[in-house]
Amino acid sequence: MPVPSKRSPIGISAILGAVLVLSGIGFLGYSIGVYFEWLPGSRVTVPNPVALEQPRPTSVVPTALPTPTINASAPTATPRSSATRPIASQSTVAARPTVRPITGAMLAPPDRSVYATPMTPADAEDRAYWSDRPRPGLAMHLEIPRVEIKTDVTEGGIITNKQGDLEWQTVPFIAVQYRETAKVGARGNAVISGHVVTINEGNVFRNLYKVEFGDEISVETEEGKFTYIVEDVKLVKPSSVEVMAPSTSPVLTLITCGGEFDTKSRTFSDRLIVTGRLADWAPNDTPPAVAADTGA
């Protein structure tokens, strides 16, 4: 006579249920520990800027635009002599010029030898300076070769967030230049921002803290490339909006997050600011596309 098998007092379903309950309790405890930053590694901190540990440059950086090298074959303007103009005394009355009658000789064409000597335009030096400089424009691409930063740039501005408050726009996976600031290559403060570390929006400026004084920042626009030299690096509070103030000289300001990440407010404690001055430029090899005139 077969002996009936004994059923286990604890079923497989009960074991799986207990495992799931314990896993849920463990995950809940881990989430609470991360939120209150009790667990090791739960606090995210961006390293301090490398430039802050270095001595700042002591030389005064000129704010004026760089002086180009003029080709020797190009015409140059001849400076005027510093001759003083005689000033008539109050008691002396200048004689009125005698009107010369118009004759046929005055209406005759000038001597051809006049055209044999080429005339030098008064703005010859300015023409040599501005001839190869592309027009200022919005950034399209940015690179900092020494710290391996390479990102496209798009246009952005002030937007309204979900809470109805105004804030500066951020774009995922690329940098953004604010249209409310100056154009790249122009006199003024051109401001570009990007993320440093995020889960869903990229980290295009993750190496910005490695920038040092004198590093080159290359910014491409529609018509050319502008090179800036880093001259200032600092950490400021998020409320320090003066870093975006206008400037009388052509400068570039890069902004990203820095300091420690607060899990409650979901923001970083500081902002990393990198400022560069305009040093060089070069036009694009191919001119920008211009829409054809259809006559409509």
3-class SS letters over the chain: CCCCCCCCCCCHHHHHHHHHHHHHHHHHHHHHHHHCCCCCCCCCECCCCHHHHCCCCCCCCCCCCCCCCCCCCCCCCCCCCCCCCCCCCCCCCCCCCCCCCCCHHHHCCCCHHHHHCCCCCCCHHHHHHHCCCCCCECCCEEEEHHHCEEEEEEEECEEECCCCCEEECCCCCCEEEECCCCCECCCEEEEEECCCCCCCCCCCCCCHHHCCCCCEEEEECCCEEEEEEEEEEEEECCCCHHHHCCCCCEEEEEEEEEEEEECCCCEEEEEEEEEEEEEEEEECCCCCCCCCCCCC
Reading the chain (296 residues) residue by residue, the pLDDT tens digits are: 565 555 555 678 778 877 888 888 877 776 666 565 655 555 667 888 988 888 877 654 555 555 555 555 544 545 444 444 444 455 556 666 665 555 555 556 666 776 677 777 787 766 766 677 899 999 999 999 999 999 999 999 999 988 898 999 999 999 999 999 999 999 999 999 999 988 888 999 999 999 999 999 999 999 999 999 999 999 999 999 999 999 999 999 999 999 998 877 778 999 999 999 999 999 987 655 554 445 44
Q: Which CATH class is domain 50-55+131-283?
A: mainly beta
Domain ranges across the chain: 13-42, 50-55+131-283
